[in-house]
């Protein structure tokens, strides 16, 4: 990249794809492809089997009790919108939705829409200076009008890993349901939905080394059954007549039309590939890379790390005194280092920390110690442009 070895540190935005995923997509397109479920010929049956096998793979990955708890979506954003739209059908003016200050816009804007259209009240769980969630303030915010708590498993900016099981326990005691945005946590943490006890859990394929335009919504049987259909069309019905329609049970109730067949197969291949690695070993490797960066950059008075929560994921977000985040990212690109700059789709969090932008390096299992060293060296060189 620009004459330098590529150091890709933008996996929090989208991960690179392993050969296993590329090969699975190619094989599905070249060797056995047709529409799913409704055909009776061999290609349709083979494709349906591969498509539903991918659903089973997602269920195992999340430790769901049944594949029927997995709904295919176009990504994490659509999955959250699906839940929000369903909740909105029974929402009463004054009902409260709790979101944290560290949420991605995808877990903020759908709830704002319920505020605008249905009179919901948004309440914000504050973030402490180190990037941890203020659990005492959260407990005080819960009340008899709380309908939904929407929180991220892992912050895409801070790397903070939230105590989801505790968040769920308190919410359920108040009679509220919990949606967890697992778009980062499903990759870098332990997305055990039974251990967390959440009502809904969202993931996206492209951050999990799979294709774009595919995601999944997990829900308990009760939580999914409580939601009305999100879109209308084929597949999501039991029967249709001129004066009546009856709907299928979850997950088909929420999968109108031809689904993302190839993308689902690709995500299944990605999770199968990723599951060959020991999750604890991957987390330890990523944590070691973050600590390597911190060691190489320690003592630099012009550098500020944003988010220092204990046990955080391998995300290093920072500002450089006297330099704009976009300029830092562009200069680092000259040295072959790919990082992200801006608000990271988390404006309330940026406001909380008094930032107009920041630069983010995010690590994944394919990054190396050499990558960490190259990042630190490129950042120091980039800063020299502003001295």
Architecture of the domain defined by 279-384: Alpha-Beta Complex (3.90)
In angstroms, how far is CA 171 from the centroid of its own chain? 21
Strands (E) across the chain are located at: 7-8, 70-73, 96-100, 121-125, 146-152, 177-181, 200-204, 215-219, 237-240, 245-247, 303-306, 315-320, 337-338, 340-342, 358-362
Q: CA-CA distance, 359 to 320, in Å (whole number)?
A: 9
Q: Is the pLDDT of residue 279 over 90?
A: yes
List pLDDT tens digits, range 78-132. Answer: 999 999 999 999 999 999 999 999 999 999 999 999 999 999 999 999 999 999 9
Report the alpha-carbon angle 163-168-169, nearest 5: 100
pLDDT of residue 143: 98
Q: CA-CA distance, 243 to 36, in Å (whole number)?
A: 28
Instruction: Give the residue among 62, 106, 61 at the shortest CA–CA distance from 84.
Output: 106
Q: CA-CA distance, 127 to 149, in Å (whole number)?
A: 15
pLDDT of residue 331: 98
- From the list 25, 83, 345, 374, the catalytic residue is 345
Q: CA-CA distance, 227 to 70, in Å (whole number)?
A: 14
| Residue 195 or residue 38, greater confidence | 195
pLDDT of residue 133: 98
Using DSSP's 3-state secondary structure scheme, residue 239 falls into: strand
Sheet containing 358-362: give its strands across. 303-306, 315-320, 358-362, 340-342
List pLDDT tens digits, range 334-370. Answer: 999 999 999 999 999 999 999 999 999 999 999 999 9
Half-sphere exposure of 216 toward its Cβ, with a 13 Å CA cutoff?
33
* Total residue count of the chain as it appears in this document: 387
Q: Is the pLDDT of residue 150 over 90?
A: yes
Average pLDDT, stretch 27-41?
93
Burial label, 342 (beta-carbon count in 10 A; 0-12, 13-18, 19+): middle
Neighbouring-strand partners of residue 161: 154
Mean residue pLDDT of the chain comes to 98
Domain ranges of the chain: 19-274, 279-384
Mark residue 118 as left, alpha or beta (left: phi above 0; alpha: psi -120 to 50; beta: remaining): alpha
Whether the CA torsion 47, 183, 253, 174 is positive or negative: it is: positive
Instruction: Give the residue among 270, 262, 151 at the shortest CA–CA distance from 204.
Output: 270
pLDDT of residue 39: 81
Average pLDDT, stretch 316-331?
98
pLDDT of residue 38: 79
DSSP 43-73: HHHHHHHHHHHHHHHHHHHHT-S-GGGEEEE
Average pLDDT, stretch 13-37?
97
Q: Is the pLDDT of residue 136 over 90?
A: yes
**Topology classification of domain 19-274:** 3.40.640
Q: Is the pLDDT of residue 275 over 90?
A: yes
Average pLDDT, stretch 205-211?
98
Q: Is 345 a catalytic site residue?
A: yes
Determine how β-strand 315-320 pairs with β-strand 358-362: antiparallel
Average pLDDT, stretch 187-205?
98
Share of the chain above pLDDT 70, in %: 100
List pLDDT tens digits, range 224-247. Answer: 999 999 999 999 999 999 999 999
Q: CA-CA distance, 183 to 178, in Å (whole number)?
A: 15
pLDDT band at 290 (very low <50, low <70, confident <90, very high): very high
> Angle, to 10 degrees, between the axis of helix 261-274 and the axis of helix 19-31?
140
């Amino acid at each position: 990249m620009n004459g330098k070895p590529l150091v890709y540190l933008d996996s929090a935005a989208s991960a690179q794809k392993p050969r296993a995923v590329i090969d699975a997509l190619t094989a599905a397109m070249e060797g056995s492809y047709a529409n799913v479920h409704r055909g009776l010929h061999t290609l349709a049956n083979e494709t349906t089997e591969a498509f539903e096998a991918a659903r089973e793979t997602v269920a195992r990955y999340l430790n769901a009790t049944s594949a029927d708890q997995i709904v295919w979506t176009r990504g994490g954003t659509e999955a959250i919108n699906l839940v929000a739209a369903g909740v909105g059908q029974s929402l009463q003016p004054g009902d409260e939705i709790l979101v944290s200050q560290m949420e991605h816009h995808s877990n903020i804007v759908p709830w704002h829409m319920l505020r605008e259209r249905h009179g919901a009240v948004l309440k914000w769980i504050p973030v402490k200076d180190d990037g941890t969630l203020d659990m005492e303030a959260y407990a005080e915010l819960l009340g008899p009008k709380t309908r939904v708590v929407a929180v991220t498993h892992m912050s895409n900016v801070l790397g903070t890993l939230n105590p989801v099981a505790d968040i769920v326990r308190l919410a359920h005691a108040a009679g509220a349901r919990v949606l967890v945005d697992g778009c980062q946590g499903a990759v870098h943490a332990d997305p055990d939905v039974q251990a967390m006890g959440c009502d809904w859990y969202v993931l996206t394929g492209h951050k999990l080394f799979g294709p774009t335009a595919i995601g999944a919504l997990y829900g308990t049987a009760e939580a999914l059954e409580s939601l009305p259909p999100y879109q209308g069309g084929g597949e999501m019905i039991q029967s249709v007549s001129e004066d009546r329609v009856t709907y299928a049970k979850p997950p088909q109730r929420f999968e109108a039309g031809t689904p993302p067949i190839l993308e689902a197969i690709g995500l299944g291949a990605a999770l199968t590939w990723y599951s060959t690695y020991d999750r604890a070993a991957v987390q330890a490797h990523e944590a070691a890379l973050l600590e390597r960066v911190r060691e190489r950059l320690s003592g630099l008075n012009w550098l500020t790390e944003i988010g220092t929560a204990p046990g955080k994921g391998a995300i290093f977000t920072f500002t450089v005194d006297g330099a704009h985040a976009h300029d830092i990212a562009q200069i680092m690109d000259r040295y072959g280092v790919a990082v992200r700059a801006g608000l990271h789709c988390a404006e309330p969090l940026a406001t909380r920390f008094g930032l107009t932008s920041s630069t983010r390096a995010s690590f994944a299992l394919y990054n190396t110690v050499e990558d960490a060293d190259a990042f630190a060296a490129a950042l120091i060189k980039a800063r020299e442009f502003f001295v």
